[in-house]
């Protein structure tokens, strides 16, 4: 008994639809999983970079404050600097006495004026920020250093613009890399499915048709799946293989037609 042309066309249609749906599901699932993984990686990179920047800024502030504090001494009851700070420290460092009078340092920038003034009378180490642009640290200084009382306050500032720019660039690079990985993963998945389907074209490699008392299926694991059912009765093996070849031929013809329509010249 052989399969009728109608049953062949029905099986062919089911095979084409099933193959298309399977490819869409596999490619979509691969893209979704890769997207989630890259989003998590992006968040992790951002958190690690932010933590690293925070540590670097805090360390830089502390080292600058300690360097300036080491140059201070008392002379006739007045706080003076034994050495002239470097130009970099001069522009971002201020030394105040206990009354809040400026001892060393430039005029404060308008953006930093109120923050520096607030820290100038601090009696304990304090950190503050001016928006996302500057971070400031106030360090009380004891003179003499070993046993003296607090005699001055060193205020230092760090411009956060270079750090913010680095974080921004790192985030853009991570997002671009994530997009490339997601698109590439979906492309590789689609290509792999295409290669797998190509191996099932008429030739030395065939599907594993299964014939039972109640019908014929594409594969032994599909005997409970009506979508993979070739016929509702146990056909001869030759007829089953004819149906399978017809389905694969329809798929191959569809691919060839698509390549012909969209061919590059």
Is the entire prediction scored with pTM above 0.85? Answer: no
CATH 3.30.450 domain range(s) in the chain: 65-159
Strand partners, 95: 104, 154
Q: What is the pLDDT of residue 154?
A: 92
CATH topology (fold) of 65-159: Beta-Lactamase (3.30.450)
CB 160 within 8 A of CB 135: yes
Sign of CA dihedral 112, 118, 121, 124: negative
Sign of CA dihedral 219, 222, 227, 233: positive
From CA 262, how far away is CA 243, in angstroms rounded?
29
What pLDDT, in 10s, does the model give residues 209-239?
777 777 777 777 766 777 777 877 777 777 7
Closest CA to 230 of 69, 4, 57: 4
Binning pLDDT at 50, 70 and 90, where does residue 255 land? low
From CA 158, how far away is CA 180, in angstroms rounded?
36
| Peptide bond just before 144 cis, omega within 30 deg | yes
Report the mean per-residue pLDDT for the chain. 75
What pLDDT, in 10s, does the model give residues 123-134?
888 888 888 888
From CA 230, how far away is CA 224, in angstroms rounded?
12
Strands (E), 144-189: 149-159
Cβ-based neighbours of 259, under 8 Å, separated by 6 or more: none
User: Which has more confidence, 218 or 84?
Assistant: 218
From CA 86, how far away is CA 89, in angstroms rounded?
5
Residue 43 has pLDDT above 70, yes or no: yes
Mean pLDDT of 125-154: 84
CB 207 within 8 A of CB 200: yes
């Amino acid at each position: 008994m052989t399969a009728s042309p109608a049953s062949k066309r029905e099986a062919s249609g089911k095979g084409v639809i099933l193959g298309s749906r399977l490819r869409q599901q596999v490619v979509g699932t691969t893209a979704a999983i890769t997207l989630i993984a890259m989003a998590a990686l992006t968040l992790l990179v951002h958190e690690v970079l932010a933590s690293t920047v925070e540590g670097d800024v805090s360390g830089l502030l502390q080292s600058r404050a300690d360097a300036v504090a080491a140059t201070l001494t008392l002379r006739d009851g007045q706080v003076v600097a034994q050495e002239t700070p470097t130009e970099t420290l001069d522009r971002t460092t201020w030394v105040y006495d206990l009354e809040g009078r400026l001892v060393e340092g430039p005029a404060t920038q308008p953006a930093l004026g109120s923050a520096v003034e607030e820290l100038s009378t601090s009696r304990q180490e304090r950190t503050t920020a001016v928006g996302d642009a500057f971070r400031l640290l106030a360090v009380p200084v004891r003179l003499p250093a070993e046993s003296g009382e607090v005699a001055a306050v060193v205020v230092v500032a760090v411009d956060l613009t270079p750090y913010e720019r680095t974080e921004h660039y790192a985030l853009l690079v991570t997002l671009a890399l994530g997009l490339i990985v997601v698109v590439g993963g979906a492309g590789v998945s689609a290509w792999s499915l295409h290669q797998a389907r190509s191996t099932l074209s008429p030739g030395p490699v065939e599907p594993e048709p299964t014939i039972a008392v109640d019908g014929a299926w594409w594969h032994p694991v599909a005997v409970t799946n009506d979508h993979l059912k070739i016929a509702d009765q146990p056909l001869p093996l030759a007829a089953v293989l004819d149906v399978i070849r017809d389905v694969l031929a329809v798929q191959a013809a569809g691919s060839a037609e698509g390549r012909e329509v969209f061919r590059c010249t």
